């Protein structure tokens, strides 16, 4: 009897201790994943550092709420804010990259037009 | 056994103080939850910014989402559910910010496509001229 049940008790004990030492909330896990992927993107660190910092602070607030055993509703809310801040950081970096590409293409267009104009005046 | 009985006699008392504490916390919670007028105002500014960034045209879904939450926040205000109103208002701010930056991104991408089209045509013209 004892032998049969001890592994179960042991695994239950492990599960309980794992749960109590690592409190988790699915939306907060989500927010962490989004923040981590923004952090791994070098363009975000380069072009959206302030936005990334805001996201980091929002994530800290959500983590603190979870560790302080605040209500699921509060943790979900703070996790949502953190997730959106991470998305804002990603989108900001993408937007700035696109604007840089716009400037680059606009300069190319000016040069191409000038090249064509000079070629035409040279012909005359 | 003795201990157990002592605990039992104390238990209703503990439960009583617990209830009183909970009620007190509830009352102080209400007293500490003022109407989030500032948050609502900040949300409206964020939505204006998103509109000005062209989200009506370039990020309509995200703007609509923020506007729907704004309505819910205002409804919570009229019901004096200030906790919900504050949370919704805070969410509107990030949703509207995301709508604004998404609109800027989409606008820049469209501009880029047009420029690249122009540049391809110009490049062909240059090549023709060189022949």
DSSP string, B16-65: HHHHHHHHHHHHHHHHT----HHHHHHHHHHHHHHHHTTHHHHSHHHHHH
Residue B12 has pLDDT above 60, yes or no: no
Chain segment A60-99, per-residue pLDDT in tens = 999 999 999 999 999 999 999 999 999 999 999 999 999 9
From chain B, pick out residues whose CB is under 8 angstroms from the CB of A88: 94, 97-98, 101
Alpha-carbon gap, residue B111 to B113, rounded angstroms: 5
- B residues 85..124 contacting A (CB < 8 A): 87, 90-91, 94-95, 97-98, 101-102, 104-105, 108-109, 111-112, 115-116, 118-119, 122-123
Most A-contacting residue of B54, B86, B108 (CB-CB within 10 A), to test interface: B108
Alpha-carbon gap, residue A49 to A25, rounded angstroms: 27
Spacing of C-alpha B118 from chain mean position: 39
Give the CA radius of gyration of chain A: 26
pLDDT score recorded for residue A9: 63
What is the pTM (predicted TM-score) of this model? 0.77
**Facing residue for B108 by CB, picked from A81, A102, A120:** A102
List phi, psi (to 5°) of B48: -60, -45
Chain segment A10-56, per-residue pLDDT in tens = 566 555 554 444 558 999 999 999 999 999 999 999 999 999 999 99
**Facing residue for B105 by CB, picked from A84, A95, A116:** A95
**Facing residue for B118 by CB, picked from A80, A81, A109:** A109
From chain A, pick out residues whose CB is under 8 angstroms from the CB of B126: 112, 115-116, 119
pLDDT score recorded for residue B104: 98
Half-sphere exposure of A47 (CA within 13 A, CB side): 18
Chain segment B18-68, per-residue pLDDT in tens = 555 444 444 444 445 799 999 999 999 999 999 999 999 999 999 999 999
CB pairs < 8 Å spanning A and B: 65
Please check whether residue A102 touches B, CB under 8 A.
yes
Ramachandran region, residue B54 (left: φ > 0; alpha: ψ -120 to 50; beta: rest): left
pLDDT score recorded for residue A7: 62
Which residues have CB under 8 Å from A119's CB, separation 6+?
B126, B129
Angle at B41 between CA A44 and CA A82, to 5 degrees: 30
Residue A113 has pLDDT above 80, yes or no: yes
Residue A8 has pLDDT above 70, yes or no: no
- CB–CB of A29/A37 below 8 Å? no
Nearest chain A residue to B103, by CA? A95
- CB–CB of A25/A68 below 8 Å? no
CA proximity to B73, closest of B106, B116, B39: B39
**Facing residue for A112 by CB, picked from B104, B108, B126:** B126
Residue B42 tokens read as: 């900040």
pLDDT score recorded for residue A22: 54
How much is the ipTM here?
0.79
Alpha-carbon gap, residue B76 to B98, rounded angstroms: 23
pLDDT score recorded for residue B33: 79
Chain segment B96-120, per-residue pLDDT in tens = 999 999 999 999 999 999 999 999 9
pLDDT score recorded for residue B17: 55
Alpha-carbon gap, residue A107 to B18, rounded angstroms: 72
- Distances A89 to A34, A85, B58, B93, B125 between C-alpha atoms, Å: 10, 6, 18, 14, 40
């Amino acid at each position: 009897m004892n032998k049969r049940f001890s592994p179960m008790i042991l695994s239950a004990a492990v599960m309980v201790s794992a749960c109590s030492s690592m409190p988790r909330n699915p939306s907060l896990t989500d927010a962490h994943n989004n923040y981590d992927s923004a952090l791994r993107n070098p363009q975000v660190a380069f072009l959206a550092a302030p936005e990334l910092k805001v996201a980091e602070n929002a994530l800290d607030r959500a983590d603190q709420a979870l560790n302080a055993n605040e209500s699921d509703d509060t943790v979900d809310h703070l996790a949502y804010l953190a997730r959106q801040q991470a998305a804002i950081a990603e989108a900001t970096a993408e937007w700035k990259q696109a604007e840089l590409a716009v400037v680059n293409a606009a300069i190319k267009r000016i040069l191409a037009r000038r090249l064509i104009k000079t070629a035409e005046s040279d012909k005359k | 056994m003795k201990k157990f009985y002592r605990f039992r006699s104390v238990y209703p008392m503990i439960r009583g103080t617990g209830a009183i504490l909970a009620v007190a916390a509830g009352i102080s919670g209400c007293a500490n939850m003022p109407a989030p007028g500032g948050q609502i105002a900040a949300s409206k500014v964020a939505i204006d910014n998103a509109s000005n960034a062209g989200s009506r045209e370039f990020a309509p879904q995200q703007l609509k989402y923020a506007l729907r939450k704004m309505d819910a926040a205002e409804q919570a205000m009229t019901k004096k559910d200030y906790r919900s109103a504050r949370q919704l208002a805070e969410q509107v701010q990030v949703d509207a910010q995301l709508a604004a930056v998404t609109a800027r991104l989409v606008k820049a991408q469209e501009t880029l496509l047009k420029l690249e089209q122009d540049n391809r045509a110009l490049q062909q013209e240059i090549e023709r001229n060189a022949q």
